Structure 1
């Protein structure tokens, strides 16, 4: 195994799958909690990352340390330099300049993963770590790639689609792989042993549900508990996957964390959008406004609660619907 990994890009679905594949190295799922640590930019340091990564696993062959958003904090400083200007790059990185020497010395039982949105190729920490880490860029799928992904994904689920159904789903589904995966699951179950038809796609697939999920998540982070509960219950009754809803909540809290960590840096709207991985100025403005109701400390604690909720649902330790309803209160309580 590589001593470290750098996962970055806009395709967070494929990135999450790659992380889950790495997690399989952690041994029994019931021990994942004690052997999995998440550290977030703005509330961690180079020293904490290295110290945590140097800890040996408890009763399993490996432990994972997930570090989110650290490379992005250096993204604005990246620029091509001649060899004689490397000293300037080292100064910009501060303590992280020692990462290239420290990472190879970590215990072979540690999986150190840096998770990021999109990054510039000239990012100085990315350039420093590439020789000692496995870097994977997860780019958003283009039209033909998306078509191939849908076809392969349906095959993996044991289903078959007609050419017309494949074409229509590619058009309707957009580029959100989380949503598409849920739609494929639903279509395969509905069609059973026969191929999924164009009529099936027209009947079952709706982009309106995704809009409703965003509305529910917005109500949660804005402290409108009754609205959030009503929308979540309606989504679940309509067949929305609980794990997908949870993923969208995690995504929004992560955006809030990024908005707070980038606040006051004097970045342009374009640069903020790029670092946060959002393409809509409306979403950027809304997220910045929502983040004002939170502190970095409370958001970090909330983020970890969400990760615990994800584990509880996947391991069957708690009712998915009950976990979501408790999270509505947790998110509201995290507001300042």
Structure 2
């Protein structure tokens, strides 16, 4: 029966046993981590079927790459008599993709073709060849970027597979500190496992391991901003940049910080509990409470001013040659401008 929808890249595990191996695996999507992980799993699963080093080839495609030449390799008999594995990366740059359609309809029984396409495919793309034929035969696997609770569950599951226990609430907090990049989350998980030595880590221990640089963390910056402490905020911001934290990551955390403060003011007026409020905006209760403590910004005028400052910083990154330290210095100065008296300040 013809396939009618694109399969998740997680479904690739259904097709890795020798009895149900596919002749073609087309892996694509915006989640590069999942694509590379799937490729690694696939290679490990079938390596025992490849009996000669000459029967495995990785091709980094270019605009001038001829698919017909690769298809000739797929049809040539394996040196070792087992299976042949051909991996094509950067498939999206190949100009003439038509030869793949013929191969899909008349593939080699002893060859396995893995194609890596960087990025997503639109609905319009999927209505054209070779994607129509790939979809019809069940050879397409998409790696979508996980967000929100899906990413939290992925991290909890990954931890469980590595015999490390972490609650969904703590996982949510770690993601807010580290960010949503799976490779970074996996790296931090390995750090937790090494540090824990088989013991369960507290939330404070997890936070310390997740956010520490040589001296300060992004959370230290948010805390100092929330207090309106400009000198310390500038010191921490420079330290973060010096220790390799990207300015985009810093801006994203400050933006999330300001937005959460705005939410907290609304929830405060509605007398919504911290736990319920954090759940409504899919955020850890820990981070939500930290935002509530940011007294300097508990004022509508200051929040509006902060939004303008963040927009200006974003525009500076995209349209000027201004260095990161200068952009952050200007941002912090604008953020901590006393627009009006804060009713929560004492």
Structure 2 length-normalised TM: 0.50
Structure 2 CA distance for partners of 1:154 and 1:66, relative to 1, 3 Å:
same
1:14 partnered with 2:34: yes
The structure that is helix-richer by fraction is: 1
Give me the whole-angstrom Cα distance separating, in 2, the residues matched to 1:283 and 1:151. 35
Does the 8 A contact of 2:55 with 2:80 survive in 1?
A: no
How far apart are residue 73 of structure 1 and its match? Answer: 5.6
Does the 8 A contact of 1:9 with 1:118 survive in 2?
A: yes
- Cα deviation, 1:214-233, whole Å, max 9, x if unaligned, reads 98xxxxxxxxxxxxxxxxxx
1:202 partnered with 2:202: no
Structure 2 CA distance for partners of 1:99 and 1:65, relative to 1, 3 Å:
same
1:49 partnered with 2:51: no
Matches within 5 A, 1:146-225: 146-206=151-211
- Gapped regions of structure 1 (runs ≥ 5): 75-93, 216-279, 287-336
Give me the whole-angstrom Cα distance separating, in 1, the residues matched to 2:167 and 2:195. 14
Aligned residues: 202
Q: Which residue of 1 aligns with 2:123?
A: 121
Give me the whole-angstrom Cα distance separating, in 1, the residues matched to 2:131 and 2:59. 19
Structure 2 CA distance for partners of 1:214 and 1:197, relative to 1, 3 Å:
closer
- Cα deviation, 1:240-291, whole Å, max 9, x if unaligned, reads xxxxxxxxxxxxxxxxxxxxxxxxxxxxxxxxxxxxxxxx9969999xxxxx
Structure 2 CA distance for partners of 1:136 and 1:214, relative to 1, 3 Å:
farther
How far apart are residue 26 of structure 1 and its match? Answer: 2.5
- Cα deviation, 1:189-213, whole Å, max 9, x if unaligned, reads 2112222321122211138699867
Which structure is larger by alpha-carbon Rg, 1 or 2? 2
Give me the whole-angstrom Cα distance separating, in 2, the residues matched to 1:153 and 1:281. 38
1:3 partnered with 2:23: yes
Q: Which residue of 2 aligns with 1:105?
A: 106
Does the 8 A contact of 1:13 with 1:178 survive in 2?
A: yes
**Higher relative contact order, chain-length normalized (CA < 8 Å, sep 6+):** 1
Structure 2 CA distance for partners of 1:29 and 1:105, relative to 1, 3 Å:
closer
* RMSD between aligned residues: 3.5
What secondary structure does 1:27 align onto?
helix
